[in-house]
A and B are shown apart, each in its own frame.
Chain A
Amino acid sequence: MQMRYLKNVTTLALDISKCTGCGMCAEVCPHAVFRIEGRKAVIEDRDACMECGACARNCAPGALSVRAGVGCAAAVIAGKLRGTENPACGCSGTGCCENG
């Protein structure tokens, strides 16, 4: 069963003129957001994007941009309380079942 988060919130943007169709974005995206069609990337499932930043980081020509961050309420709230805009991931990252 596929779980989905809020619609129309992702900051993902594709500048199609810079895209070389290399396919890296489709390879690294953990939520199958992209499809490659006619040597260009197509954002097929925009609302599945979790803003991990993998695609933008691995797009050599710089066609992709996204405000990457962790979708973690505790981190966002802590960031708000401390008055920092970009919340740092407060998780220890040692949860036992987290993938990888």
Chain B
Amino acid sequence: MNDSIGPASCRGLSDTVPFQPAWITGSIRTHAGRIPVISTRLTRRDRLGAIRVCLGIGRMRYAVLPGLYAAGRPGPSSPVLVTANYKLTFDRLRVRLDGIDAWILVLDTQGINVWCAAGKGTFGTEELVRKIQDVGLDRVVGHRILVLPQLGAPGVAAHDVRRETGFRVEYGPVDAKDIPRYLADGCRVRPGMRRVRFPLKDRLALIPLELIQAFKFVPIFLIWVIALRFIRDHRISGEIIKDFIPYLTAFLGGSVLFQILLPWLPFRSFLLNGWLLGMAVIPAVSLAAGVERSFLPSLLLMLPPVTAYIAFNFTGATTYTSLSGVRKELARGLPALILSVVAGMVLQIVMIR
């Protein structure tokens, strides 16, 4: 991918013409050498890249070259903003810097966003210290303050960074959109800027990936439905479309409906909420689609647990679930769900024979 090519890493066929991504618009001279200046506007190419990643197409490492960049015309007293080298994270920051003079220190997080990288430790103390030294930051700026995204804090020990480099870490707002406000306020975080939220907009954007991850159930369901119909009628007919509706509902319930309704579901447990959602929508949709009433008990043993399982996997994308909580749910809930599915399958087979 050309997107992973940064200011000086890669050269074209001709050695004299270094390749530059379109978002680098020039360079600025400092005591630590020339620093590339970035555009604060997104191009069509940037936007297309974002959509591709959203839809899970390619899932390539979508990265920028780590190092120091300039936004506007920064000088020795301009703030230093630290970020990850995941292109979308970088883009989300630079579009907020229109009209702001700042340095951007991009850490090598292997093309992963700040939060995940902080959890893995790649957005971490060691990498930050290394980058500060690599780019010669102490020669670029006169002050000794770094602004880090708050979500980088799980990986960075501010006191260790200070001890090793002399730079003081300030944790800025969670959301890049608050950066201009924060800088204008003299690096003061307003109430609310420290909280992680999980609004509908974010949940909707995750649905394509949830669909892709849960899609593995669809072929399994199809084979099951076709096999049952064949045992029953000794031939395959259009009936399988109707037969498939409850299964499709279970799949979409866990990977679309659950994400939308999350704040309004009554329990804390993802498994319970997912199961309840399945229990509510699967019979309603099935009856409307003309599925025989007598099949409902077996379908309700089999399918809500699948909805619950798919929904449970959404814990990985949320912003508030804990490891201990996930473990507890798994230990308590999973055996019951498996039992229910098996019972439902047996009942289905018994009924058609």
B320 touches A48 (CB 8 A): yes
Cα–Cα, bound, A9→B111 (Å):
32
Chain B residues closer than 8 Å to A53, beta-carbon distance: 119, 154
A100 touches B114 (CB 8 A): yes
Interface: A17 (CB within 8 A): no
Q: How far is the CB of A78 from chain B (nearest CB, A)?
A: 11
Chain A residues closer than 8 Å to B157, beta-carbon distance: 57-58, 60
Interface: B196 (CB within 8 A): yes
Interface: B80 (CB within 8 A): no
Task: Classify the secondary structure of A's interface with B.
Answer: loop
A97 touches B206 (CB 8 A): yes
Interface set, chain B 287-329, CB cutoff 8 A to A: 312-329
Cα–Cα, bound, A52→B118 (Å):
9
Chain B residues closer than 8 Å to A68, beta-carbon distance: 119, 154, 323
Interface set, chain B 242-286, CB cutoff 8 A to A: 262-264, 268-270
Q: Which residues of A pack against B, CB within 8 Å? A: 1, 3-7, 9-11, 24, 27-32, 48-54, 57-58, 60, 67-77, 80, 87-100
Task: Name the 8 nearest CB pairs between A and B, nearest first.
Answer: A93-B116, A72-B316, A71-B321, A100-B114, A69-B323, A97-B205, A93-B112, A96-B54
Q: Which residues of B pack against A, CB within 8 Å? A: 50, 53-54, 59, 61-62, 84, 86, 88-89, 111-120, 149-159, 171, 174-176, 189, 194-196, 198, 201-202, 205-206, 209, 213, 262-264, 268-270, 312-330
10 intermolecular pairs with C-beta atoms under 8 Å apart = A3-B198, A10-B325, A49-B322, A71-B322, A72-B323, A72-B326, A88-B120, A89-B119, A93-B115, A96-B209
